A and B are shown apart, each in its own frame.
Chain A
């Protein structure tokens, strides 16, 4: 027991990300509850009701696996996350409640809960999270930990340079001895750019734009030859009652699927010929249209590492590329730390699952630095839910239990205790 340092107190770990919310018992290797963070809601007054944010209490919210993925008339789609942080607190209790009570089927009043936050989270946000957990879920103890640190822990490292490519944000976090070096923190909305580029590619595909629809809107389809026009019938009845946000959601899902199944990154830097020489990959869309993708499937992923001159000229506010983020992070850290960090790079996050990202990152780094070592878990669960996994490890350690913010302390010290305890 003491040898591995674990002492499980049946704590829960809650990791809210842009694409999914993970919850499970500390000590497990996989979160038991994985639900989309995106939620659906239907305004009582129908689609024409005022969108001023002051939703009537009768607004019906649909969360979980059967939330946004089920078509409902006039259901709109929302996502509380922005820039990796919780921006909209309204659906959060419902999301957490669903994950804990409906999926895990636990009573949160009986379990200490460890919640994760991005390294650039604001103090107000974390205090609000503490308040939510104590006041609404009545948890006995609470802790909020940094995803950067947790990702390092998940890789078994106390000091690491965590490169986390998520759904909406890519970040580089230097972690030393379990503390984030805040000056070296760098993040950007790079994955969103990649996503947008993927859509652009699909819109501008040879032979006209590809319709990005979801199967929920298609009544029937017939298999067709590659590159042939799709033969399908739309569910016009549904389409009429599908608001724009849901359509966008379906489109983004289709683009994501395309990215995940087809797109990749050239491991030796951008090169038209190399991209063209890679094998073609076929992808079939929900409409039944299918085609082969050649060089363009590498164009989207390439944006993680470099921007073309035209793109950079057209958008001065372009998010920084990964090499830029890395060099910024390294420049801001102490010289003594750089060697340690560079030999302990942890590549994590679902966005890093794009084929070839690890190899390319290594190539980019080796151009400038002689000794680099990248730790990229091969197991997709570890890669995608690294933050949760680190939380699971942390909250099941015997030495950790002195750090919990207990209910008593919360009542005694109030919000200030969060900043004092969770460094």
Chain B
């Protein structure tokens, strides 16, 4: 070890190797030390190790800015001529001495002119005659357009044809444009074209000018500008109203769709079906059940889609089962109306044990309405199917009522705000009508609430009628479906009791 370290030290100090062979002699051939490894480390690990060591690259710093370090720049004042000039004006400017004096003036490239159309007098006679334009005036127009680089605003501003038309009949900007472009179009069409058809068509379309449209547009702009502040304010208010209505519409639509989906699930597209009909055998949802159970069992409604399978056998034939059902007051809802529940196992329970509850958000108000109607909200004394249905529709109606009241209140508030905004100057025009329309909409709802004292059904109906027919149907369906699920449970329970 000692010998080795001595050799190492020698190596480190780059002293000539002594003749005595040592272990470090292996490294003796001058292999080049790789970049990034300290010399001392290299002397220890030797040339074989580098693969093990990450070779750190030299840190790269941002390049130092070159602040014109090449000494001072020489500038000289040089005379120059602008090639765009026809005369020999020589101006002087300061340039870097390094710039080639024979170089073109750098600003020449900005001196560009648009395409200029010219015509001969023969062409004018042949093509360009126009009853309201003389050749002299057309010439004048073309010279102006050339002078002002097709800036027609300026051309029409400076247009002052000597011996021209009286002031009242002065050309407008669009007249000048029309004349100029029509002449150019005619020229392009009549002259031989060197390029292809596409480029010609493109050029022609770029020279297209519709004067009538321009005139209409300007008239429209004028009328837009001449609106009174009241008109502008009304327009603004109408616009805001429109936006709001659109938003409400969209929300309603979304809500309705969501409701439909919640209520009917995949079936939401199906129309209502008669209850006592046997489900078709081919129904895929029932196939599973059939496979599991006795295939002879008719796919009756008593066994719904899912889990309650350990049930007493149902009457085999549909006719006899109907008879039986009727006799025992068994009501079988359409299986397709049943929303499959998520849980895998549902215990049988009495329908009367499951009271419908109003939505959480409106529960307090609905409860209040029910209290006003003297309806007990605990357990029904006679929880029959009909009673439950009625009770449920009552709750439904009350909910709808409360919601309608909310909507009406909101509309009232909106109308008041809108009226304030439009102010007292509002004419008896459109806005008023709109205002009245919306109040009319809300008034009957309020009446509903007031006269809906006793008859729940009527009330529900009237409230529902203020909504669309479709929504009413969905509400019916909802009550049906909910009750059907539960009555089924109840029916089963009854049956079980009977069996036992």
Contacts and interface: CB of A to CB of B under 8 A. Distances in A.
Interface of A: 1-2, 5, 7-10, 112, 140-141, 176-177, 179, 181-184, 334-338, 370, 398-399, 401-402, 404, 406-409, 412, 423
B85 A402 contact: yes
15 contacts: A9-B92, A9-B93, A176-B151, A176-B153, A176-B154, A177-B151, A179-B154, A335-B221, A370-B232, A398-B107, A399-B107, A406-B89, A407-B89, A408-B89, A412-B87
B94 interface: yes
Contacts of B92: 9-10
A398 B94 CA distance: 12
Contacts of A335: 218, 221-222, 225
Interface in B92-143: 92-94, 105-107, 110-111
A112 B110 CA distance: 22
Given A179-B148, A335-B222, A399 B89 contact: no
A370 B148 CA distance: 31
Contacts of A336: 153, 218, 221
Interface in B151-187: 151, 153-154, 156-158, 173
B111 A399 contact: yes
B106 A2 contact: yes
Nearest to B152: A334
Nearest to A180: B157
Contact of B93 (A5, A7, A404): A7
B151 A2 contact: no
Interface residues of B, number: 29
Contacts of B76: none
From A182, A398, A401, name the one whose CB has the most chain B CB atoms within 10 angstroms.
Answer: A401
B296 interface: no
A181 B153 contact: yes
B282 interface: no
B87 A177 contact: no
Given A112-B91, A335-B218, A409-B87, 10 more contacts: A2-B107, A5-B107, A8-B94, A181-B153, A334-B173, A398-B110, A399-B110, A402-B84, A402-B85, A406-B85
Nearest to B219: A335
A401 B107 contact: yes
B68 to A, nearest CB: 15
A177 B106 contact: no
A322 B115 CA distance: 41
B278 interface: no
Contacts of A370: 232
A1 B105 CA distance: 12
Interface string B218-230: 1001100100000
A408 B89 CA distance: 7
A107 to B, nearest CB: 14
Contacts of B21: none
B306 interface: no
B441 interface: no
B87 A8 contact: no
Complex A-B, nearest 9 residue pairs according to Cβ-Cβ distance, in ascending order? A406-B89, A398-B107, A402-B84, A9-B91, A335-B221, A179-B154, A408-B87, A181-B157, A399-B110
A4 to B, nearest CB: 12
Nearest to A1: B106
A401 B153 contact: no
Given A179-B154, A335-B221, A338-B225, A404 B89 contact: yes
Contact of B111 (A9, A402, A404, A408): A402
B29 interface: no
Nearest to A112: B91
